[in-house]
Amino acid sequence: MKIIIINGPNLNLLGKRENDIYGDETFNDFFEKLQQKFPILSLSQFQSNIEGELIDKIQETGYSYDGIILNAAAYTHTSIGIADAVRAIETPVVEVHISNTFSREEFRHKSYIAPNAKGVIVGFGLQSYELALQSFFK
Ligand code: DQA
């Protein structure tokens, strides 16, 4: 099973960014553990701060992968381009957020991606990614 995690802007700073909200673990450390926990999966990850690169990656993987776990970060709340890409592809997308966006500022309550996602997992820290991964097993 081929699954990719696609992370949007500023998620490359996990571990040193607003630790009270996002925790103190780097994504690479977390990802290594995730790979060890699910060795039978072909798991990959991609991060970009650039909207168009995220769209390119969604298009590139969206017809051949079994699942996409997408944390579009701030673009979740603004990007119709990413939302359209999610809508266009065939691979199911699970939207994830580390923080509980609904308990934060109102502008974070809106997701342009959610209506076209298979599901949304919000607020469980980095464990949100693992829960999203598990959702592809059945
Ligand atoms: C986030 C929530 C977004 O509102 C924010 O812009 C992020 C991270 C999360 O994972 O909690 O960068 O997607």
Q: Where are the domains of the chain?
A: 2-135
User: Could you read off the pLDDT of 48-97 as tens digits, one per residue?
Assistant: 999 999 999 999 999 999 999 999 999 999 999 999 999 999 999 999 99
What's the pLDDT score for residue 133? 97
What are phi and psi for residue 16, nearest 5 degrees?
-130, 5
pLDDT for the residue numbered 61: 98
66 is in an annotated binding site: no
Q: Is 97 a catalytic residue?
A: yes
pTM metric for this prediction: 0.97
pLDDT at 138: 66
Does the CB atom of residue 7 touch ligand 1 within 6 A? no
> What is the reported pLDDT for 64?
98
Between the CA of 97 and the centroid of ligand 1 the distance, in Å, is 6
**At 135, is the secondary structure helix, strand, or coil?**
coil
Binned at pLDDT 50, 70 and 90, residue 137 comes out as confident
Instruction: Please say whether the structural domain 2-135 has been given the CATH code 3.40.50.9100.
Output: yes
State the distance from the centre of ligand 1 to the C-alpha of 42, rounded, in angstroms.
Answer: 25
Asked if residue 16 has pLDDT above 80, the reply is yes
* Smallest CA separation from ligand 1 atom 7, residue: 73
Q: How many CB atoms lie within 10 A of CB 134?
A: 12
Does 48 contact ligand 1 (Cβ within 6 A)?
no
